[in-house]
A and B are shown apart, each in its own frame.
Chain A
Amino acid sequence: MQHTHESINKALEEGLLTKVTKPTRYTGGEYNQVKKDWADIDVSMAFGFPDVYEVGMSHLGLRILYHLINEQPRMVMERVFAPWVDMEKEMRARQLPLFSLESRRPLTDFDVVGFTLQYEMSYTNILNMLDLAGIPLKSIERSDDAPLIMAGGPCAVNPEPLADFVDLVVLGEGEEVLPRILQRIAQFKQAGRWRTCAETRGREELLFALAQIPGVYVPAFYRSEYDEKGLFKGTIPNRSGVPARISKQIVADLDKAYFPTKSLVPFMDVVHDRVMLEVLRGCSRSCRFCQAGSIYRPVRERSMETLKKQADELVKTTGYDEIALTSLSTADYTCVEPLIQSLIATHQEQKVGVSLPSLRVDAFSVNLAKEVQKVRKTGLTFAPEAGTQRLRDVINKGVTEENLMETVESAFANGWTGLKLYFMIGLPTEKEEDLEGIAQLAERVVYRGTGILREKGIKKSVKVTVSTSSFVPKPQTPFQWEPQARIEELEEKQAYLKKRLKDRRINYNWHDAKVSFMEAVLAKGDRRIGDVLYRAWQKGCTFDGWSEYFHFDRWQEAFAESNIDPEYYAYRTIRYDEPLPWDHLDFGVQRQYLVREHKKALEESLTHDCRLDSCSGCGVCPTLGVSLDLRGEKHVPNSDRI
């Protein structure tokens, strides 16, 4: 049966929604939702988030692009999330296609379905969503009646495992590129060249036209080559007229960049349920494992005036009682203290609090936390990342044990009784003493905390949570050439820590090493991984990022059937002169810089933050024609340094 928004609506309201948990995942209707009359639009896009509603709605990028596109008079953007397993079952039983939240239209009604790639382990959900929508999974199987399938977001740094499934990939920040893409599509439709009647054969031509827009990558116009031993040899255009390398696009002036003054207000609890103020973009602390640190460069800040105005408007239009200052590292914002003070002063009366949700509070100043605490208590997380100074130098984590202990002491002195410590295991050059260092550091924090609480006469016992994730080598980082530690090795390290962290005041948790292995394979994979993804999905893999739905055995079967050795991707030391599957995608950071950083890592030598000192020559600013943009008074503009 051909479904329309009426029939989907009927199915939902008459029975379906009573059968599923959390029906508001699918109902839409949130305050500030935009519902447009489809008679008045030229081009439509569904923003697909390949995870469940409450995860997707916490994503700032969705909120920005949603209002940006919907403010364009003849464009519409609606939302779609991965239906939770119970909903999927009900939908399949009724042959109900995947639909958008706003108009409840089947996805096939849209011109574009764009997926954000936030996490490698959500790739199978993309395949599953396409299948639920009745859209052919492979790009090559789609004709003009299927929407264009787009991808973007951080994992687009290496979208090659998805090359068979997506029609186009947007590299970099979408604010400027996305309206241009949709505009071009609208022009094609108006000219009667695509999707206007059943006869059009415009898909390829349209993709070719879109490939002319800087930042747009159409995988089908490129071919990957391998040698007779199966080693990757490079990805090159298979036709003329497309660039050999595609450059990411970024917003040069964040202060002038679009930021919505409205924001959707979900009904159910979502992960980040508050006003999200983006104070800055990028991070140049240069932690050598960190992909975000590479791909969002350079650091660009918003001015205090703009942020205060945005906060005022957003509080008014959402009714939220909390303003979160978000970014990769909010404590680094050059105006963070005056901003927090000003926001608190303005909004205290209405009992609106300010929070710092960013996980890595290294440059944490106790003053900040104290300020924030005036209105609401938030949990504190510190990320020393490694257990010894030597290893912290290898990864360029510029924190010393003294720094950490000082911060921890003032946290306890200021009334916190618990905190979280976040580490990574399996880092390059890691030895047993580095693991031992994690345990000792945790113990020192506990002892110090207990001492301080006792001095203050507080009866409560200290609670320290130690979390370890496993190192995953990621494209565009100085560690992209490094092998990952083997699963067994990682599990031994976890077992060691489990044994060492027996103190009842310490709570230890860790990430599944098998998931980390899969992350490495998908992050560094080439186009051949597409077949594995397809088979894994066929075997029922979805929601792989949710431990209860992660089935490593199915993935192993899929690798075997595709004749792919996953260890080739995860465990191999890559030589500097080997071609990499993401070489044709230019994120601005130069290879020589990454090589230099990698060598420095092995020498345990530090690289400073280019915000605080001179340019460290990563290449982003000259390549992209932008510069560091800081707003604090103490900072001189960086442009004269490059």
Chain B
Amino acid sequence: MKSMYRIRIAFSKQDPVRWLSHLDTQKAFERALRRAEIPLAFSEGFNPHPKIAFASALAVGVVSLGEYADIELAEDMAPETVKEKLQQAMPEGFGVQAVKKVPQGTQALMAAVNRAQYRVRVPLAKEIEDGMVKAALAKSLAEEAWLVEREGKKGRSTKDIRGGIYQLTGHIVESHLVLEMVVQTGSEGNVRPEEVLEIVARTGSLPVHIERIRILRLGLFVAKGDRLMTPLEVI
């Protein structure tokens, strides 16, 4: 049997590539890996595809400082070499932060990642005090259910996302409301940062220009008890 080499890549996605859809990102990676002449392992079958698995899809327009992908190689290659070659071959806006070998038997990236950390920033419609933000957070967090409407394949549905909020803080910076949060992501369900903002703003009657929201994903994590570990730390 052919032995497989798996590597894990930590990367960032900023302007202008934050506008790429998940599918576009996959294609961009595939092409960059080919340009970098990194020996890819391909799937069997009529339409062979390189084996690339991303930790989690990122919404279009969102900047991220902590994305991850696992890639199977046909031959061994030093992580440092992969990092260097790949960075040179990536389109502007992608940053290759780190590359690490993945030992055999490691849990799949997508299955392991279950937390996401976000910072959202939205302009205020009128000046308010920090205290008002604290009150809004306290009031929202005290509510038992956070119901959101989702448009799914099977039509509209209502979901309670309260259980998926693990950390939530907020303050005012230069006429902007800034929220930071750690929320659930992955196979158990996704909490969307814009939904969190909407609930907090609505509950606390915070005057914000919600349509001008900017979302930053700070990272993806694996929750181990109380600890959050990055996908590189777990291997």
Binding site for B on A (CB under 8 A): 13-15, 17-18, 23-24, 27-31, 33, 265, 267-268, 315-321, 350-351, 376-377
Q: A28: which B residues are within 8 A, CB to CB? A: 16
Q: B212: which A residues are within 8 A, CB to CB? A: 14-15
**Contact yes or no, B61 A319, CB < 8 A:** no
Contact of B27 with A by CB under 8 A: yes
**Contact yes or no, B17 A377, CB < 8 A:** no
A536–B19 CA distance with the chains assembled, in angstroms: 34
Q: Given A15-B212, A351-B42, is A27 in contact with B19 using a C-beta cutoff of 8 Å?
A: yes
Q: B92: which A residues are within 8 A, CB to CB? A: 29, 33
**Contact yes or no, A319 B17, CB < 8 A:** no
Per-residue contact bits, chain B 61-80, to A (CB 8 Å; 1 contact, 0 not): 10000000000000000000
A23–B20 CA distance with the chains assembled, in angstroms: 8
**Contact yes or no, A13 B15, CB < 8 A:** yes
- B19 smallest CB distance to A (angstroms): 4
Q: Given A15-B212, A319-B31, is A27 in contact with B61 using a C-beta cutoff of 8 Å?
A: no
Q: Within the complex, which residue of B21, B32, B211 is in contact with A319, where a contact is CB–CB below 8 Å?
A: B32
Per-residue contact bits, chain B 11-25, to A (CB 8 Å; 1 contact, 0 not): 000011101110010
A31–B24 CA distance with the chains assembled, in angstroms: 13
| A-B contacts besides A24-B20, A267-B24, 7 pairs, CB < 8 Å | A24-B19, A27-B19, A31-B31, A265-B31, A265-B91, A267-B28, A316-B35
Q: A350: which B residues are within 8 A, CB to CB? A: 34
A213–B152 CA distance with the chains assembled, in angstroms: 60
**Contact yes or no, A317 B35, CB < 8 A:** yes
A315–B27 CA distance with the chains assembled, in angstroms: 15
Among residues 28 to 74 in chain B, which have CB atoms less than 8 Å away from a CB atom of chain A? Answer: 28, 30-35, 37, 42, 46-48, 60-61
Q: B232: which A residues are within 8 A, CB to CB? A: none
Q: A29: which B residues are within 8 A, CB to CB? A: 16-17, 91-93
Contact of B218 with A by CB under 8 A: no
Q: A377: which B residues are within 8 A, CB to CB? A: 46
Q: Within the complex, which residue of B24, B28, B90, B211 is in contact with A15, where a contact is CB–CB below 8 Å?
A: B211
What residue of chain B has the Cβ atom nearest to residue A104's Cβ? Answer: B16
Q: Given A17-B61, A23-B61, is A319 in contact with B24 using a C-beta cutoff of 8 Å?
A: no
What residue of chain A has the Cβ atom nearest to residue B17's Cβ? Answer: A29
Contact of B89 with A by CB under 8 A: yes
Q: B37: which A residues are within 8 A, CB to CB? A: 316
Q: Given A23-B61, A31-B91, A376-B47, is A267 in contact with B20 using a C-beta cutoff of 8 Å?
A: yes
The 24 listed contacts between A and B (C-beta, < 8 Å) are A15-B212, A23-B60, A23-B61, A24-B20, A29-B92, A31-B28, A31-B91, A33-B92, A265-B31, A267-B17, A267-B28, A268-B21, A268-B24, A315-B34, A316-B37, A318-B31, A318-B35, A319-B32, A320-B31, A321-B30, A321-B34, A350-B34, A351-B48, A377-B46
Q: B46: which A residues are within 8 A, CB to CB? A: 377
| Interface size grouping (class) on chain B | 20 to 34
- B34 smallest CB distance to A (angstroms): 4
**Contact yes or no, A319 B19, CB < 8 A:** no
Q: A320: which B residues are within 8 A, CB to CB? A: 31, 34
Q: A315: which B residues are within 8 A, CB to CB? A: 34
Binding site for A on B (CB under 8 A): 15-17, 19-21, 24, 27-28, 30-35, 37, 42, 46-48, 60-61, 89-93, 211-212
- B101 smallest CB distance to A (angstroms): 23
**Contact yes or no, B24 A24, CB < 8 A:** yes
Q: B93: which A residues are within 8 A, CB to CB? A: 29
Q: Given A23-B61, A268-B24, A376-B47, is A319 in contact with B91 using a C-beta cutoff of 8 Å?
A: no
- A53 smallest CB distance to B (angstroms): 12
A30–B20 CA distance with the chains assembled, in angstroms: 11
Q: Within the complex, which residue of A18, A265, A267, A268 is in contact with B61, where a contact is CB–CB below 8 Å?
A: A18
What residue of chain A has the Cβ atom nearest to residue B209's Cβ? Answer: A15
A24–B61 CA distance with the chains assembled, in angstroms: 10
Q: A33: which B residues are within 8 A, CB to CB? A: 92
A267–B32 CA distance with the chains assembled, in angstroms: 12
What residue of chain A has the Cβ atom nearest to residue B32's Cβ? Answer: A319
What residue of chain B has the Cβ atom nearest to residue A13's Cβ? Answer: B15
Q: A267: which B residues are within 8 A, CB to CB? A: 17, 19-20, 24, 27-28, 91
What residue of chain A has the Cβ atom nearest to residue B27's Cβ? Answer: A267
Most chain-A CB neighbours within 10 Å: which of B16, B46, B90?
Answer: B16
A313–B93 CA distance with the chains assembled, in angstroms: 24
Q: A15: which B residues are within 8 A, CB to CB? A: 211-212
Most chain-B CB neighbours within 10 Å: which of A28, A30, A351?
Answer: A351
- B140 smallest CB distance to A (angstroms): 24
- B91 smallest CB distance to A (angstroms): 5
> A-B pairs with the 4 shortest C-beta distances?
A319-B31, A319-B34, A29-B16, A319-B35
What residue of chain A has the Cβ atom nearest to residue B61's Cβ? Answer: A18
Most chain-B CB neighbours within 10 Å: which of A265, A267, A350, A351?
Answer: A267
**Contact yes or no, B33 A319, CB < 8 A:** yes
A24–B37 CA distance with the chains assembled, in angstroms: 26
Q: A317: which B residues are within 8 A, CB to CB? A: 35
Q: A13: which B residues are within 8 A, CB to CB? A: 15
- A377 smallest CB distance to B (angstroms): 7
- B12 smallest CB distance to A (angstroms): 15
- A547 smallest CB distance to B (angstroms): 26
A404–B60 CA distance with the chains assembled, in angstroms: 48
Q: B42: which A residues are within 8 A, CB to CB? A: 351
Q: B32: which A residues are within 8 A, CB to CB? A: 31, 319
- B102 smallest CB distance to A (angstroms): 23
- A113 smallest CB distance to B (angstroms): 23
What residue of chain A has the Cβ atom nearest to residue B211's Cβ? Answer: A15
A319–B53 CA distance with the chains assembled, in angstroms: 18
Q: A18: which B residues are within 8 A, CB to CB? A: 61, 211
**Contact yes or no, A30 B91, CB < 8 A:** yes
A27–B17 CA distance with the chains assembled, in angstroms: 8
What residue of chain A has the Cβ atom nearest to residue B49's Cβ? Answer: A351
A350–B50 CA distance with the chains assembled, in angstroms: 10
A320–B28 CA distance with the chains assembled, in angstroms: 10
What residue of chain A has the Cβ atom nearest to residue B16's Cβ? Answer: A29
A318–B48 CA distance with the chains assembled, in angstroms: 19
What residue of chain B has the Cβ atom nearest to residue A316's Cβ? Answer: B35
A31–B32 CA distance with the chains assembled, in angstroms: 9
Q: B17: which A residues are within 8 A, CB to CB? A: 29, 267
A33–B91 CA distance with the chains assembled, in angstroms: 9
What residue of chain B has the Cβ atom nearest to residue A26's Cβ? Answer: B19
A318–B46 CA distance with the chains assembled, in angstroms: 23
A15–B17 CA distance with the chains assembled, in angstroms: 16
Q: B60: which A residues are within 8 A, CB to CB? A: 23
**Contact yes or no, B48 A319, CB < 8 A:** no
**Contact yes or no, B89 A319, CB < 8 A:** yes
- B71 smallest CB distance to A (angstroms): 14
What residue of chain B has the Cβ atom nearest to residue A29's Cβ? Answer: B16
**Contact yes or no, A23 B19, CB < 8 A:** yes
A380–B137 CA distance with the chains assembled, in angstroms: 61
Most chain-A CB neighbours within 10 Å: which of B19, B42, B46?
Answer: B19
